[in-house]
A and B are shown apart, each in its own frame.
Chain A
Amino acid sequence: MQSEMKNKPVKALAKYAAVFLIIMLLSVTGEILIFNRIALFHSYEPVECTPDTAKMSVQTTDSLAQLTGEEQQAILVEQENKRLLAEYNGEEYVEKLDESLVEQDGNLYRKVKETKIQIELDDSYYINKLKLEIPLEKNGGFSAGIYEKGHLSPLDYYCSINPKLDAGIVNIGGRKTNGVVISLLTEEEPDLSALKVTVSNDFRLNGVRIGFFAVCFFTVYMIFAGGKDLWGLMKKRPEWFFAVFALLFGGLLIEGIGTNQVSYDEYSHAKSAYKLSFGATIETTEAAMQMVGNTLPYFNNPEERELVESYEDRMNDPDVIPPDIGHQSRFPRAETRVYYPMAAGFYLGRILHTGFADMVALAKLGNLLFYIFVVFWAVKMARGYGMVVAGIGLLPNNIFIASALSYDALVTSCLLLGYVLLLNEILTPDEKIRPKNALLMLLSFVAGCLSKPVYIIMALMVLFLPRSKFHNRIMGTVFKISVTLVAGLMLYNIFFPTPVAGGDYQLVSNLAFSGDRRSVGTSTMGQISYILGNPLTYTGILLSEMFGMLLGYTLKGVPYVGYAYLGTAPFALNWILILLGIFAALYAPVRKKIGGAFEGLSHLMNFGVAAVVFTSMYISFTAVGNDRILGVQGRYFIPLFLPFLSCLFGKKGMDRLKGAGVFREKLERSSGLYERIIFGVLGAVNLFMTWKLVILSVNV
């Protein structure tokens, strides 16, 4: 009996070691079969072609390339900002168009040189990668087509050439050909003597892809083959499983995306976090300067990634380009403190002398770990709604933001924790509030609202806590007044911020000039005057925008799940997640559901916060008097998911529906079926998104 007890951990260890080995074996097999199948049988030494090679012909002509909508909008915004700056400085603004641009039929075109390159190969090759190297001063790009069975395919393979890399690499996908046609577009006359085209089909195992397969197999194992012990643990300690899944999914994103800045305003968050990682003296290397200016080169495949990271390391070397020295106050502003988790990563990377890309990865990891830590406690402390919280925590949008340079992860996680603690109080009207819980709840709300104070309205739900929660009436009243003052002071700071340290003092403290500089025609004071002058018109705009967005996400096919600039998931996923949310809330093991006044008040609070979010974007991001509200994104409402789901069905709710109670009993008796459904669906959605938008787009 004793030896059996002793052998149990050893057996378990052996079992998990075997599972690990099988998972790794399957992952490497998947990597070979899916991404290296052709290279396994048809790899060869890379073939280099230059204009000196007899089989390469080259011809350059003048051409025009139309700017994209985004590029045209960026020029408009830049002109508007210059106009504003000139107005602020009391100077006359004269609008000028860049000499390299031409306006035709209301569109902007760039004058370019088009170089046609034709390559005839000596033999037929399976081409996986096509690399074009040419020194450039400005951005360029090329499109390529190949000869298949004597016919030229359309020029479907596009690739940009960043002048910092002087090269671009495009995936051809292992197609067999004996000829390549390339159309190279450059702003300047290209130096064709330095032109080099390389075709290759190397057998290369990729760590990111292997990692992806490993996470997929691991998730499948946990959900379908983990066994009763593991599933029992999942039911008892869902927070640990949340942490593991979040770390794996987030880790994949960090490693897969690298230094490509694809999250919302990532360069701006990178700037604040990087600065915060220093004391009073900031040393900004050239690589960091490009990161905060959003001018680092992007990569589209692992081969380009190597070029980019090598360039970044060169630019990060103080012996190559001396860092810029700047100074800052030792006391960071309150809003800036939300960057500490990322700043810690930058600091760690610097003292460990890692490469630049690894330092950025550590900063993102700092953000992810902090997010996991806070949501872990939110799941752990939630009374009954733990899996709803874990589900919200594992939403792909949240995992993506937590794995990027962004303060939104801190906002979401702290508000989740704050509302969980508030919900606990609401669910237990006869228990007194404990000082520890009250303090943690308020600190969580305050931390979550440091950078987005409008959410502090959520904390005002404490005003409706019953008298029985407090030791006496006076204490209850003072408690509620204090929380109201906290909320009021945080909202007051939006309009009258405490003075900043820095040269932009006059500009940021001048309401007449405030407004989001990313959008044309904004003016905080102007918009407030407009709203006050036209209250009914604005109410109409507000309601139409709010319900328009709700209908868009539920009926009109607007995708909700997304990885920022990497793309979005199909619309069907909106409904999969809505149904999952309903399922999680409906079968949450809550002894006593919210009902009565709190139900209505929660929905009212959700509506109020949503209206304030829309209004804040109207004031700060939308041109004065516009009949639309610009800049509002669905992710801004994630903090409201828990208040919404927790009182979706009221006290009796869906128990009235036939079978709901029976099914709940079945779920409660099962080995973590409820938890496995939630983790399983969210795991599948996360991995699908990562496969589609990260693995296939930049890691193949």
Chain B
Amino acid sequence: MLGNLKKTIHKYAYFILPICTLLCLAGFIGSYLFPNEVLDTYEVNMKEDEKDEEFVWSLTGAEDEIGYVMETDGRALKGFQIGICKNGGALTGTELVYRVYKLPEASEKEGETNSPEEPEGMKEMPQEIQREALPLLLEKSYDLGACLDGQYPYLPFDDEGICKGRLYITFTYRSNGNEEGTLPGIYANHHQVENAASYRDGRIALEMTGEKETPVMIKCYYIYSHDTYPLLYDCRVLTFVFLAASMTVCYPGLKKGKKEGMADAV
């Protein structure tokens, strides 16, 4: 059986190898045209500095708002992960509402005010943000009943990639009639992150730690994406492997040539 199969393959090599070449070429082109998008998780602020401790920044009411400013460096932000503290409650039905606003670039300064007395590393961050003056890019919600206490759920943004540049992200909650009485919170610490700051009700959040005023920072991951081309490498290499192998086949036309006296076409 195996012998027969080998014979058949050998017999039709003039047909099989070019077909394989074309299939690989098609795969090569297809891989370029239809890439596979994968998410990249970037740990931004997940470890505490020495003498610092993680704490819960509670949302004290439905009007209470926690904000976060960040810079995507030209890439489209696909999502965000923050640590949810449910304070032991189930919070079924309660939603975390998150909105993304577009902030003007640092040089433009619109809808924000700066203070010269900001801590080192936060000089570029606006002291106060009036979100009403900013264009809203996206508003979504996440059911807090779906995640575990202490978990860092993935909060997806959009697929089109509009969340790009300098962004202001806000978090509030909507109880939707949940009468548990438990309030959710977000994990934070005092670690300083480049080009980022956390806000409470539109004002930059700073706390005295020892004798120094340090920023409060939400613990989070940024989620970006990039395209992968899973079969690109194989297809482009195999295209030429099969093409090379095809060049060693004695095609029917060549056999005919031999009959007519072409010694090389054996």
Q: Which of A90, A434, A482, A483 contacts B194 (CB 8 A)?
A: A90
Complex Cα distance, B244 from A478, in Å, reads: 7
By DSSP majority rule, is chain A's interface helix, strand, loop, or mixed? helix
B194 proximity list for chain A (CB < 8 A): 89-91
Tell me the B238-266 residues at the A interface (CB within 8 Å). Answer: 238, 240-251, 254, 264-266
Q: Does B232 contact A (CB under 8 A)?
A: yes
Select B264's contact among A334, A436, A437, A471, beta carbons within 8 Å: A471
Q: Among the listed A432, A439, A493, which residue makes an inter-chain contact with B241, where contact means beta carbons less than 8 Å apart?
A: A439
Bound together, the chains give a CA A572 to CA B162 distance in angstroms of: 68
Contact B243 A482 (CB under 8 A): yes
- Cβ of A503 and Cβ of B41 under 8 Å apart? yes
Which one of A432, A437, A500 lies within 8 Å of B266 (CB-CB)?
Answer: A432
In the bound assembly, the distance between CA atoms of A547 and B241 in angstroms comes to 35
> Given A435, A476, A482, A500, which contacts B249 in the complex, CB threshold below 8 Å?
A435
Contacts of A659 in B (CB 8 A): none
Interface range on chain B (Cβ under 8 Å from partner): 35 or more
Residues of B within 8 A of A501 (CB): 36, 38, 228
Q: Which residues of B contact A489 (CB under 8 A)?
A: 236-237, 240
- Distance in angstroms between the alpha carbons of A646 and B101 in the assembled complex: 70
B34 within 8 A of partner (CB): no
Beta-carbon contact of B241 and A499 below 8 Å: no
Q: How far is the CA of A489 from the CA of B243 in the complex (A)?
A: 14
B198 to chain A, nearest CB (A): 18
Nearest residue (CB) in A for B230 is: A331
* B248 close to A443 (CB less than 8 A): no
* Binary CB contact string for chain B from 114 to 131 against chain A (1 if under 8 A, 0 otherwise): 000000000000000000
- Give the distance in Å from the alpha carbon of A153 to the alpha carbon of B10 in the complex: 75
B241 / chain A contacts, CB cutoff of 8 Å = 439, 442-443, 446, 482, 486
Question: What is the chain B residue whose CB lies nearest that of A499?
Answer: B228
A331 and B237 in contact (CB under 8 A), knowing A438-B244, A470-B247? no
In the complex, the answer to whether B227 meets A503 with C-beta atoms within 8 Å is no
Shortest Cβ gap from B45 to chain A (Å): 11
Q: Within 8 Å CB of B230, what residues of A?
A: 329, 331
- In the bound complex, residues from chain A placing their C-beta under 8 Å from that of B53 are none
With the chains together, A212 CA to B21 CA distance in Å?
Answer: 50
Chain A residue contacts of B250, Cβ below 8 A: 432, 471
Closest A residue to B243 using CB positions: A482
Establish whether residues B240 and A485, one from each chain, have CB atoms under 8 Å apart when the complex forms. yes
- Complex Cα distance A91/B250, Å? 64
Specify the chain B residue showing the minimal Cβ separation from A334.
B233
Complex contact A498–B240 (CB within 8 A): no
Query: A546 within 8 Å of B by Cβ?
Result: no
Complex interface: chain A residues within 8 A of B265 (CB): 471-472
Given contacts A471-B264, A486-B240, contact A499 B10 (CB under 8 A): no
Residue of A nearest to B75 (CB): A506
- Chain B: minimal CB distance from A332 (Å): 9
Q: Does B80 contact A (CB under 8 A)?
A: no
B40-A505 in contact (CB<8A): yes
Does B228 lie within 8 Å of A475, measured CB to CB? no
A contact residues around B231 at 8 Å (CB): 331
Partner of A334 from B226, B234, B240, B254 at Cβ < 8 Å: B234
A68 at the interface (CB under 8 A from B): no
User: Does A468 belong to the interface (CB within 8 Å)?
Assistant: yes
Q: Out of B38, B40, B233, B248, name the residue touching A433 (CB < 8 Å).
A: B248
Q: Assess whether B244 is in contact with A432, with CB atoms less than 8 Å apart.
A: no
> B42 to chain A: which residues have CB within 8 Å?
503
Rounded to whole Å, the gap between the CB of A698 and the closest CB of chain B is 38
* Bound: A483/B248 CA distance, A: 12
Q: How far is the CB of A265 from chain B (nearest CB, A)?
A: 23
Contact indicator B233/A498 (Cβ below 8 Å): yes
Q: Is the CB of B243 within 8 A of A439?
A: no
Give complex CA distance A490, B228 in Å. 18
Distance A483 CA – B245 CA, assembled complex (angstroms): 10
- A502, CB-defined interface residue at 8 Å: yes
0/1 string, A492-536, CB within 8 A of B gives 1: 010000111111011000000000000000000000000000000
A498 touches B248 (CB 8 A): no
Decide yes or no whether B171 CB sits under 8 A from chain A: no
B228 and A331 within 8 A (CB): yes
Tell me, in angstroms, the Cα distance from A443 to B245 when the chains sit together.
Answer: 10
B244 and A442 contacting across the interface, CB-CB below 8 Å: yes
CB closest residue in chain A, given B37: A501
Nearest CB on B from A439, distance (A): 4
| Distance of A490 Cα from B121 Cα, bound (Å) | 44
- Specify which chain A residues have a CB less than 8 angstroms from the CB of B17 in the assembled complex: 435, 439
Bound Cα distance from A486 to B238, whole angstroms: 8
Which residue in chain B gives the minimum CB-CB distance to A473?
B264
Closest chain-B Cβ to A82's Cβ sits at a distance in Å of 13
Complexed CA–CA distance, A490 and B250 (Å): 28
A571 close to B (CB within 8 Å):
no
Q: Residues of B contacting A483 with CB < 8 Å?
A: 240, 244
> Is there a chain A Cβ closer than 8 Å to B134's Cβ?
no
Residues from chain B with a CB closer than 8 A to the CB of A439 are 17, 241-242, 245
Look across to chain B and name the residue whose beta carbon is closest to the beta carbon of A486. B240
Is residue A479 contacting chain B, with contact meaning CB distance below 8 A? yes
Is the Cβ of A475 less than 8 Å from the Cβ of B248?
yes
Give the shortest distance, in Å, between B41 (CB) and chain A (any CB): 5
Within the assembled complex, what's the spacing in Å between the Cα atoms of A531 and B13? 47
B112 to chain A, nearest CB (A): 22
User: Are the CB atoms of B40 and A502 closer together than 8 Å?
Assistant: yes
On chain A, the residues within 8 Å of B142 by CB distance are none
Q: How far is the CA of A489 from the CA of B234 in the complex (A)?
A: 10
Question: Which residue, of B36, B248, B266, has the highest number of chain A Cβ atoms within 10 A?
Answer: B248
Q: How far is the CA of A50 from the CA of B247 in the complex (A)?
A: 79
Q: Binary interface profile of B, 86-104, with partner A (CB < 8 Å = 1, else 0)?
A: 0000000000000000000
Tell me the bound Cα distance from A472 to B263 in angstroms.
10
- B229 at interface (Cβ–Cβ under 8 A)? yes
Contacting residues, chain B, for A333 (C-beta < 8 A): 233
24 A–B contacts from the bound complex (CB under 8 Å):
A329-B228, A331-B230, A331-B231, A434-B248, A435-B248, A436-B10, A438-B247, A439-B245, A471-B254, A471-B264, A471-B265, A471-B266, A472-B254, A475-B247, A483-B244, A486-B240, A486-B241, A493-B233, A499-B228, A500-B228, A501-B36, A502-B40, A503-B41, A505-B226
A residues neighboring B (CB under 8 Å)? 89-91, 329, 331, 333-334, 432-439, 442-443, 446, 468, 470-472, 475-476, 478-479, 482-483, 485-486, 489-490, 493, 498-503, 505-506
Closest 7 CB pairs of A and B: A331-B230, A482-B244, A479-B247, A439-B245, A475-B247, A482-B240, A334-B233
